[in-house]
A and B are shown apart, each in its own frame.
Chain A
Amino acid sequence: MSAVPFFFDILAYSAIFVLVVLGLGIIASMMGIFNFAHGEFVLLGAFTVYMFQQKGIPTWVGMIAAPFVVAIVGLILERIAIRRFYTAPIVAMLGTYAIALALREAVRALLGGRFHNVDAPLAGSFVLGEVSISQWRSAVIVITAIVMVLCWLLLTRTKFGLQMRAALENPALARASGISVNRVYATTFAFGSALAGLAGGLMVPMYSISADMGVPFLIKSFLAVMLGGMGSFEGSIAGAALVGASSAALPWAIKPVVADLLVFVIAIVIVKFRPEGLLSTWRK
């Protein structure tokens, strides 16, 4: 019977992780920007939901609004700062890190440095005999699956997806073919930000909001993108699923402190043998 919560919890944590990594992966793989402010975009999504709750508006409305709010913030930041970094990836890391600090400290000031809980639109658990399963976590798993499919369709089946991939593969040729690379990059960045906002909005009922809520996800998210291989959308998801699942599963068997380390060791070993990313052979 204990197998049910085991698999459910792994699935739930992986789902949250995939949501966080989706946006990061799209920005990293499509634009070559390692966005160190991604954790803070997640935070802004959560903060939007928190603000809605403070104003007495139901949190599910906030969750719908969060991706749009964060997309706008992302778009503004892209226009002001990020677009200057496209040719200098190292500067981009430092620049986005600075943005991250500014956003995080601003939210900290607004929250008074404390933690605040946010109500889940679905409270309570499904009880199956001895086992109870959180309704909201179940909902997040379903939403993640839907978002994943929609993203995949957007990237592979739409004109915008084609332009995005074209702009990544060969910006000069894309420009020559009449694609506004500038606009595509701005939209891609806003889209990645929106996904971070959605992730933050959906996870905040589980994690409670605090200024540092995005931080623990950041390094592991990069690990996931690295595992999946740069430039591959499916790879990022596979990487996220693997990192998320092993982070949740390993503490069942070994000490959590060791498990945390082991996740990185496993990832490094995999990268050693598959430097092109998890799905590299499958893609060929």
Chain B
Amino acid sequence: MSQDDLKGRLDSESRRLFLQRSTALAGMVALGGGSYVLNPKGAWAADPIKIGIATDLTGAIGYAGIPNLNVAKMVVEEINAAGGLIGRPLKIFAEDTASNEQLAVTRVRKLVTQDKVDVVFGGITSSMRNAIKDTIVNRGKTLYIYPQLYEGLECTKYLYCTGPTPAQQCDTFIPWLIKNGGKKFFLPSADYVWPHELNKYARKVIEKSGGEVVDEVYFPVDHNEYSAVVSKIMSSGTNVVFNTTIPPGTPVFFKQLFEAGFQKKGGRLACVYYDENALNITPANEIEGLASCLDYFKAVNDAYGNKLQEKYTKLYGTKNPFTAGSASTGMWRGINLWAEAVKTAKSVKRDDVATALDHAKLADGPGGPCEVVPGTWHVKMPMYIAVAKSGKYEIIEKSSGLVDPRECVKT
């Protein structure tokens, strides 16, 4: 080994050490300030591409934000290990938006103005997306990718939604519910934007498919007493309860419904955000037969998803699992689609990436392939109907091919 070689190796060693230490320091800073910087492993000649992750690591939505950041870290490490993108490594700038919209705006402003990230992924709730999108897209002139299933109607240039839309969650699901439950639907809901908009769409599909909506009832988001609505459901001969109430109310509602004997009398419970995380909310027997429709379940048992689950669990344990309802799949798709777009565009400039992203496709992923529908900022993906049986999901139906998001289409 020549002297130069040795020197080169030492340099890279000390650089690696430096990087390791700075990563550790970033971690420590994160504990205090809610900001993380995760440097790419190894030594890179080129400047890193900066990825902003703005998600709720603490507070009420932390159960989804934590796996979101985990997924981002995992995918970014995979990309870096494969040589980065266009010869550059990816560096994560993560901000904890703490389930608090006001705070989030400040944090996101830091990402776009101070850290000057090339793209922002994140936001779980619609209120969070609405709070931060202007700062990112309009004032920050940065690309924004939103990963969670949501109520649709977000047609903003440079804002891509990689989670399922109402059409994807309802179009095959509701006809299935009519066939496997009955025609009379009851829509108990929490009083905020997602249930209102989802119900509007669901009602259309229910009526078009020959069903009827008995009633649509909205509760304050922290409501926890449902006897009146349960009694109405029981006395109206409702066949399907299409639930959009959210915790902390949901377990109380489901328990009261179960105790009133809804399922015993042949009723079908349906809830489109129910994933593996949600199974713990109530005892298994109280939601026996609950049907959900999402882009991925562990029970899909696909080779890609299984491999990903195995790797994720090895890295992060089982405390914050990779599930569809917590936007993990949306985050996975978001970063990978964006990476494809960067490869195609050979650039990280917003317009170049957006043009390429409009036609981005992934040949495989958890649940199956997906592709962006050009000009709509939404993603086509396969959807699955699953039913809870003894505390586990069983996949009942898989969509034939990719389901259209049906958003932002000019009619």
Indicate whether B85 reaches chain A with its CB closer than 8 angstroms: no
Kindly identify, within residues 251 to 273 of chain B, every residue whose CB is under 8 Å from any CB belonging to chain A: 251-252, 255-256, 259-261
Indicate whether A187 reaches chain B with its CB closer than 8 angstroms: no
B-facing mask of A1-35, CB < 8 A → 1, else 0? 01001100110110000000000000000000000
Top 10 A-B pairs, shortest CB-CB distance: A9-B227, A208-B251, A113-B63, A251-B228, A113-B62, A216-B222, A252-B228, A115-B281, A134-B259, A256-B219
B-facing mask of A239-259, CB < 8 A → 1, else 0? 000000001100110011100
Kindly identify, within residues 241 to 284 of chain A, every residue whose CB is under 8 Å from any CB belonging to chain B: 247-248, 251-252, 255-257, 260
Chain B residues, CB < 8 A from A212: 60, 222, 248
Kindly identify, within residues 231 to 284 of chain B, every residue whose CB is under 8 Å from any CB belonging to chain A: 231, 235, 247-248, 251-252, 255-256, 259-261, 277-278, 280-283
User: Given contacts A5-B231, A13-B225, A13-B227, are A255 and B217 in contact (CB under 8 A)?
Assistant: yes
Chain B residues, CB < 8 A from A5: 227, 231, 260
Chain B residues, CB < 8 A from A169: none
On whether the beta carbons of B220 and A210 are closer than 8 Å, the reply is no
Of the residues A115, A125, A211, contact of B259 by C-beta under 8 Å: A125
Q: Which residue of B lies closest to A219 (CB)?
A: B222
Indicate whether B66 reaches chain A with its CB closer than 8 angstroms: yes
Kindly identify, within residues 186 to 228 of chain A, every residue whose CB is under 8 Å from any CB belonging to chain B: 206-208, 210-213, 215-216
Interface size class of A (residues with CB under 8 A): 35 or more
Chain A residues, CB < 8 A from B320: 112-113
On whether the beta carbons of B223 and A117 are closer than 8 Å, the reply is no
User: Given contacts A216-B248, A247-B225, are A257 and B282 in contact (CB under 8 A)?
Assistant: no
Q: Which residue of A lies closest to B249 (CB)?
A: A216
Chain A residues, CB < 8 A from B259: 125, 132-134, 137
Of the residues B63, B218, B227, B247, contact of A257 by C-beta under 8 Å: B218
Kindly identify, within residues 123 to 144 of chain A, every residue whose CB is under 8 Å from any CB belonging to chain B: 123, 125, 127, 132-134, 137
Q: Which residue of B lies closest to A1 (CB)?
A: B235
On whether the beta carbons of A114 and B63 are closer than 8 Å, the reply is yes
A12 to B230, CA, bound (A): 15
A-facing mask of B28-68, CB < 8 A → 1, else 0? 00000000000000000000000000000011111100100
Q: Which residue of B lies closest to A116 (CB)?
A: B280
Indicate whether A78 reaches chain B with its CB closer than 8 angstroms: no
Chain A residues, CB < 8 A from B256: 9, 134
User: Given contacts A115-B281, A117-B282, A248-B225, are A2 and B62 in contact (CB under 8 A)?
Assistant: no
Chain B residues, CB < 8 A from A234: none
A-facing mask of B126-155, CB < 8 A → 1, else 0? 000000000000000000000000000000
On whether the beta carbons of B219 and A257 are closer than 8 Å, the reply is yes
On whether the beta carbons of B248 and A114 are closer than 8 Å, the reply is no
Given contacts A125-B261, A207-B252, A251-B219, 14 further A-B contacts (CB under 8 A): A2-B235, A5-B231, A10-B227, A105-B58, A113-B60, A117-B281, A134-B259, A206-B252, A208-B247, A255-B217, A256-B228, A257-B191, A257-B218, A257-B220
A144 to B114, CA, bound (A): 57
Chain B residues, CB < 8 A from A108: 58-59, 62
A134 to B323, CA, bound (A): 33
Chain A residues, CB < 8 A from B61: 113
A2 to B234, CA, bound (A): 10
On whether the beta carbons of B224 and A6 are closer than 8 Å, the reply is no
Chain B residues, CB < 8 A from A257: 191, 218-220
Cβ of B219 to closest chain A Cβ, rounded Å:
5
Indicate whether B214 reaches chain A with its CB closer than 8 angstroms: no
User: Given contacts A112-B63, A112-B319, A215-B222, are A256 and B229 in contact (CB under 8 A)?
Assistant: yes
On whether the beta carbons of B248 and A207 are closer than 8 Å, the reply is yes
A255 to B222, CA, bound (A): 15
User: Given contacts A117-B281, A256-B229, A257-B191, are A206 and B222 in contact (CB under 8 A)?
Assistant: no
Chain B residues, CB < 8 A from A105: 58
On whether the beta carbons of A216 and B223 are closer than 8 Å, the reply is yes
Chain B residues, CB < 8 A from A2: 231, 235
